[in-house]
Structure 1
């Protein structure tokens, strides 16, 4: 695994190929848009989508927590996809028991407001955005106004298009700007949206088990 260390708001953080951000000083792991139960919600509507995405997401979290010393896990919104996602609570409880000493916080996103808060037995602190751990303001939406703190958010599921003129790839990406950092969607069944970075943003793409710098955007949009 190849991580990318970057300085954001005067703090050193690590961008992980698991599509998560790790802040070593606070031993804090941030993940965005995990969307537990999304596939089940689609199946409930008769859409034939794969099984096993909840366990895939939990296994990915386990992999990170086996490698990093995580004291605090912050979910940047859209923890549950819909009300039907509460059916996954059994698997989540078993996973939570394996990490009972890790503090966990959910910053509510738009899907969480429709799905309802997770079961109390999961022992998540559930808060509204912005959630402050200075110098950062952990949010779901990336468009909080200046003065909030350096916003760390998700919501838009960013991907970046790489092209060599003949072929093109759409890769999940982190976008780090002066006022905000946007994380890719962590969930295994989430898709992505091409997001045009702003001038001065740094873009880091996730390719396999590595994170690569695309560089700083030097032209305005």
Structure 2
């Protein structure tokens, strides 16, 4: 189940797969997919099933069908490292869709911008849309609300019987929203929120405000 929130008098939809849809601008925001990471693990002997590679693309297609966005903006770390076989899978996926795709470069995005240009993908260091600033790293700027990734935020929910549930989350401050990592096998950084911050935990089927 999606969760709708208001930021700076704009509607945003938080999706259980860890993305944000901005209806007014018809933009789907996705952070930290880290394509190629699974192939990288497998190359060095990690027991990661080959079928896991397809999961990122299956999830992207589910979300595209849910929202039918005009634009898909990847907020950095679209690819984990250098070229491998997942680039060809990505290129095939890109040619199969009719959305405009843009990449805000992250620290892992070391593939030449020319490769993206040849596909028809626009690449930026940041994007500014009205009073919103879209970046990879969290960067608070006066006069702008920052939407970003990079951190892979997670939250530990503790029960009365010492149960512990570790979940990815959207992390909201007064002037910033950090998206969870979208990619498979990306891990989480578990945050200790301050009182005024808001945690929107992802259970897999719904998004829940937990603090």
Gap runs ≥5 in structure 1:
216-221
TM-score, normalising length from structure 2? 0.93
Counterparts of 1:68-107 in structure 2, within 5 Å, are 68-85=67-84, 87-100=85-98, 102-107=99-104
Map residues 122-137 of structure 1 onto 2, 5 A cutoff: 122-129=119-126, 131-137=127-133
Distance 1:33 1:148 in 2: 25
Q: Would the aligned equivalents of 1:14 and 1:23 in 2 still touch at CA under 8 Å?
A: yes
1:62 corresponding residue in structure 2: 61
Q: Structure 1 residue 148: deviation in Å?
A: 5.9
Aligned to 1:204: 200
Q: Deviations over 1:30-80 (max 9, x none)?
A: 000000000111222233322233321111010011111200100000011
In structure 2, relative to structure 1, the CA distance for the partners of 1:94 and 1:212 (3 Å cut) is same
Alpha-carbon RMSD: 1.5
Secondary structure class of the residue paired with 1:39: helix
With normalisation by structure 1, the TM-score equals: 0.89
Name 1:52's counterpart in structure 2.
51
C-alpha deviation, 1:162, in angstroms: 0.2
- Which residue number in structure 1 is paired with residue 42 of structure 2? 43
Q: Distance in 2 between matches of 1:141 and 1:8?
A: 19
CA distance in 2: counterparts of 1:97 and 1:115, whole angstroms = 19
Structure 1 distance, partners of 2:144, 2:112, is 27
Counterpart pick for 2:167 among 154, 164, 171: 171
Q: Assess, with a 3 A threshold, how the Cα gap between structure 1 residues 54 and 116 changes in structure 2: closer, same or farther.
A: farther
Do the aligned residues in 2 keep the contact of 1:53 with 1:189 (CA within 8 Å)?
Answer: no
Could you tell me which residue of structure 1 aligns to residue 134 of structure 2? 138
Gaps of 5+ in 2: none
Number of equivalences: 209
1:73-116 deviations in Å (ceiling 9; x for gaps): 0000001101144x21221122112213x11110000000x344
